[in-house]
Chain A
Amino acid sequence: MKFLIKWTKEGDMRYISHLDIMRLFQRAIKRKGIRLKYSEGYSPHPKMSIAQPLSLGYTSRGEYFEFETLEDMDPEEVRQRLDSAMPEGIRMVSCSVLKETKKAAGALITGGDYHVGIRMADPAGYEKLNEAADWFLSQPSVLIQKEQKKSGKIKEIDIREKVRKLEILPRKDYVLMDLKVDTGSQSNLNPEVLLQKLREKMDISGGEMETLIERVEMYAESTEGAEIPLYLLK
């Protein structure tokens, strides 16, 4: 049976890397007596994956993890068992059953919501931030240079078209940047890249601007063509 779990990664858990989270989940599954299905072949590995790895240092309220079990189980039972096996900062929010199709849910991701908490050393910085955001939104395209991982070649990328929503909301002693951006293997924008561009525009250094990045939700295209939160996938 194939399950998709929505989970959170908060507090100090943001320092735990993707690979270490995989190991944590594998051990939790083992502890809770859930038997994973293994791939076939010379060196079998368990059928489990984490959708769209999160950058180290980010928190998240909308992470996804899918895996296949040997036995059929009640999804709420699976959620509860795994939730009880997790350290502080990692919670299992919901669990749904997926059709055992070939494609991984993670591969269907197209968009993501992020919250970025921004605290300025100098309150005048907030005005600069708003101006930079307005500038960004008013541009038809914003190009950045990106080095290709494999070839090392420099490629120009338009990050403007990847940002679908950018709002800055005042909070008590910081501002919250509400973002909706392209996420996934087709087109992806790491919020840090956007922040870097805004910092450049504002002409301030990283030290004057404290940021916390949180992923809130991830979306995929449904069979009807609409973008839906991943937990609604069937």
Chain B
Amino acid sequence: MFENKSELEKKIERCVMRVEKPARYIGGELNAVKKPAEQVSLRVAFGFPDLYEIGMSNLGLQILYKVLNDIPDVQCERVYAPDVDFEAIMREEGIPLYTLETKRAVKEADIFAVSVGYEMLVTNMLNMIVLAGMSVWAAERTEEDPFIIIGGPCTYNPEPMAEFADAFSIGEGEEVWPEIMEKLREWKASGAPKIEFLKSLCGIEGMYVPRFYEFDYNEDGTIREIRKTYDKAPDRIDKRIIQDMDSAPFPTEPVVPFISTVHDRAVVEIFRGCTRGCRFCQAGMIYRPVRERSPEKIREIVEEELRATGYEELSILSLSTGDYSRVEELVTDLMALCRESDVSMSLPSLRLDSFSFKVMDEIQGYKKSGLTFAVEAGSQRLRNVINKDITEEHIYAASRQAFELGWHTIKLYFMAGLPGETDEDLAGIADIARNIMNIYKEVNGKIGRLSIHVSVSNFVPKPHTPFQWFPQDTDEEFSRKHELVKNLIKPMKCVRLSYHDSATSYLEGVLARGDRRMCGTLVEAVRLGCKFDGWREHFDFDKWMQAFRNTGLDPDFYARRAREYDEILPWDLIGTGVDKEFYRSENEKAKRGEITKDCREGCQFCGVNTLFKC
């Protein structure tokens, strides 16, 4: 009965029964890949710096898991951040961070890859490196330690993580990872020191090796110069993308978790990129150009995926479903397929036209969930400033139609702290809610079951957007704005208001536009106990401020300072294909309240077509 197992496996077994949800820590799920040891020559531990339930819902990770495991001698394994209960036991019992597939220490892998999706996950990543038993500082890690390669959307400004990473993979990973494996194989065969592998990575487009660049600063704290210390390192690291979505690998046999996760369903990505050009939106800029997968390929993927997983729900993924060029054909086809296979379907971000009402009526039936509008700003003037192409007439017409069809719930998303915002714009948020309420009364004769949910998030200026130079609002200003909206909404009993925590938004703003000097602050924050900063119950703002004080950095310098156009920005080394000049001109147009058209209606010359095919 007592089987032969490694010491680490025995320890893990002894401990997992003492924690919440042991299934997070054992692997063995359907479609998980575990290759015979003798077949494996390269091992990649792929980390996601959040809980299992969040990480397992990440499509990017499932894609790269497939891409890497499709290479015969590569074993890619998963690692998630342990929850605080298991972490405490791991520390107490001396269990190092381990991979789910083979239950070996992460430290024994050749590469520890980490995907960082947003700023607040960096502390978890550092904590994972510590739990793996390594130094967080790339310069201090030994020849025996694995290389740490960081990817994910957060690497479009890699500098706050630059001293932790041996390399960054910028952009989409499907093509890059097999190239990295080639270089790794060559390097391992050569027996050369680790630095040679890093040099060889400079020969792969999209790979950024931060130790080959040095930053000098002016007295005012801005960057004076970025110098290369290795002549073959590229002057600018351009992101990688998949140009043809139909031939791109897709995980039609994804790992199916035992426990329920955040997105516990089959998912198919229908396109990447967005043509709308909202000026606040980083995703809309960095994922350019739009690349669609054909309806035929999508159907093929869905069929295979449902067969391989047995999921009871399908979701389609993109930045804006309604913008897919053959959306009606696709949705009609997928709905029929789902009906045949007893699978329910969820369709996020449809445009609310007559077709989508027909579709929603069919898929939601009598269980009608809410309709969602991302209005973003309370007035047409401000929506022009941010280039958000939605009008109140459209919202009201769609709401009326929804109410006539039996909907009772509307969700409205707004932002506070946008450039050029006035209190009138904020008052407009309440006006829109009131107008929708009145439409409901007209349709139904009374307020009855109406529920309007107004969500106000705090605007965080992000790198690689037209607002990257903009100073973020202060906490006090955010709070004042929340109060203002709250008081205007209060008389309407059917309207519920929620807003984001200002301290979290501020810190997100600080980290988003940080530079390399911030690495020390992040390490200090982890030392003080910061982790799971995206989780309200764990976030400790005072500790963060302590970390900034202890390391002599002023967070306001990063979040609340207006930058000049000619300032060297920490992320200038990273190329998205979009010209800095385009961002500048978009920012100027924003100040004048001028809109820029959707680029499907004609090229707006952002520059991305000089690197990639639009």
Of B17, B23, B27, B310, which is within 8 A of A30 by CB? B310
Interface of A, helix, strand, loop or mixed by DSSP: mixed
Of A20, A85, A119, which is within 8 A of B2 by CB? A119
- Whether, in the assembled complex, B309 has its beta carbon less than 8 Å from a beta carbon of chain A, the answer is yes
Q: Tell which of B144-152, B252-260, B476-484 binds the partner.
A: B252-260
Known A-B contacts A24-B30, A56-B17; A31 and B310 likewise in contact (beta carbons under 8 Å): yes
Of A12, A15, A17, A176, which is within 8 A of B1 by CB? A176
B256/A27 in contact, CB under 8 A: yes
Set of chain B residues within 8 Å of A210, measured between Cβ atoms: 2
Known A-B contacts A20-B259, A27-B256; A15 and B22 likewise in contact (beta carbons under 8 Å): yes
> How many angstroms between the C-alpha atoms of A30 and B305 in the bound complex?
12
A30/B342 in contact, CB under 8 A: yes
Set of chain B residues within 8 Å of A6, measured between Cβ atoms: none
- Whether, in the assembled complex, B28 has its beta carbon less than 8 Å from a beta carbon of chain A, the answer is yes
Chain A residue nearest to B3 (CB atoms) is: A11
- Whether, in the assembled complex, B319 has its beta carbon less than 8 Å from a beta carbon of chain A, the answer is no
B1/A115 in contact, CB under 8 A: yes
- Whether, in the assembled complex, A217 has its beta carbon less than 8 Å from a beta carbon of chain B, the answer is no
B1/A28 in contact, CB under 8 A: no
A12/B27 in contact, CB under 8 A: yes
> How many angstroms between the C-alpha atoms of A12 and B17 in the bound complex?
11
B312/A27 in contact, CB under 8 A: yes
Set of chain A residues within 8 Å of B16, measured between Cβ atoms: 15
Query: B254 CB to closest chain A CB, in angstroms?
Result: 12
B29/A87 in contact, CB under 8 A: yes
- Whether, in the assembled complex, A23 has its beta carbon less than 8 Å from a beta carbon of chain B, the answer is yes
Chain B residue nearest to A29 (CB atoms) is: B310
Interface residues in B14-30 (C-beta closer than 8 Å to A):
16-17, 22-23, 26-30
A13/B2 in contact, CB under 8 A: no
Known A-B contacts A15-B26, A31-B310, A56-B17; A117 and B1 likewise in contact (beta carbons under 8 Å): yes
Interface residues in B55-89 (C-beta closer than 8 Å to A):
none
Set of chain A residues within 8 Å of B341, measured between Cβ atoms: 30
> How many angstroms between the C-alpha atoms of A160 and B7 in the bound complex?
38
Query: A43 CB to closest chain B CB, in angstroms?
Result: 10
Of A13, A35, A57, A171, which is within 8 A of B17 by CB? A57
A87/B310 in contact, CB under 8 A: no
Of B32, B258, B307, which is within 8 A of A24 by CB? B258
Known A-B contacts A20-B259, A23-B260; A31 and B28 likewise in contact (beta carbons under 8 Å): no
B30/A87 in contact, CB under 8 A: yes
Known A-B contacts A15-B17, A89-B28; A28 and B2 likewise in contact (beta carbons under 8 Å): no
- Whether, in the assembled complex, B177 has its beta carbon less than 8 Å from a beta carbon of chain A, the answer is no
Set of chain B residues within 8 Å of A28, measured between Cβ atoms: 310
Chain B residue nearest to A119 (CB atoms) is: B2
Query: B168 CB to closest chain A CB, in angstroms?
Result: 34
Set of chain A residues within 8 Å of B260, measured between Cβ atoms: 20, 23
Interface centre among A11, A89, A115, A176, by most chain B C-beta atoms within 10 angstroms, is A11
B311/A27 in contact, CB under 8 A: yes
A31/B2 in contact, CB under 8 A: no
Set of chain B residues within 8 Å of A24, measured between Cβ atoms: 30, 258
Set of chain B residues within 8 Å of A17, measured between Cβ atoms: 23, 259
- Whether, in the assembled complex, A157 has its beta carbon less than 8 Å from a beta carbon of chain B, the answer is no
Flag B292-316 by CB within 8 Å of A: 1 or 0 each. Answer: 0000000000000001111110000
Set of chain A residues within 8 Å of B311, measured between Cβ atoms: 27, 30
Set of chain B residues within 8 Å of A176, measured between Cβ atoms: 1
Chain A residue nearest to B27 (CB atoms) is: A12
Set of chain A residues within 8 Å of B310, measured between Cβ atoms: 26-31, 85
Query: A209 CB to closest chain B CB, in angstroms?
Result: 13
Query: A206 CB to closest chain B CB, in angstroms?
Result: 11
- Whether, in the assembled complex, A71 has its beta carbon less than 8 Å from a beta carbon of chain B, the answer is no
A88/B2 in contact, CB under 8 A: no
Flag A58-94 by CB within 8 Å of B: 1 or 0 each. Answer: 0000000000000000000000000001011100000
- Whether, in the assembled complex, A214 has its beta carbon less than 8 Å from a beta carbon of chain B, the answer is yes
Chain B residue nearest to A15 (CB atoms) is: B22
- Whether, in the assembled complex, A143 has its beta carbon less than 8 Å from a beta carbon of chain B, the answer is no
> How many angstroms between the C-alpha atoms of A173 and B30 in the bound complex?
34
Known A-B contacts A20-B259, A174-B2; A31 and B308 likewise in contact (beta carbons under 8 Å): yes
> How many angstroms between the C-alpha atoms of A17 and B30 in the bound complex?
15
Considering the complex of A and B, which 8 residue pairs feature the smallest CB-CB distances, nearest first?
Answer: A27-B310, A117-B1, A31-B310, A30-B310, A15-B22, A12-B26, A20-B258, A12-B28
Q: A17-B23, A27-B312 are in contact. List 20 more A-B contacts (CB 8 A).
A: A12-B27, A15-B16, A15-B26, A16-B258, A20-B260, A21-B258, A23-B260, A24-B30, A24-B258, A28-B310, A30-B311, A30-B341, A31-B310, A115-B1, A117-B1, A117-B2, A119-B2, A176-B1, A212-B2, A214-B1
**What are 18 A-B contacts defined by CB distance under 8 Å?**
A12-B28, A13-B28, A15-B16, A15-B23, A17-B23, A26-B312, A27-B310, A27-B311, A28-B310, A30-B312, A31-B309, A35-B342, A85-B310, A87-B28, A87-B29, A89-B28, A174-B1, A174-B2
Which residues from chain B sit less than 8 Å from chain A, CB to CB?
1-2, 16-17, 22-23, 26-30, 32, 256, 258-260, 307-312, 341-342
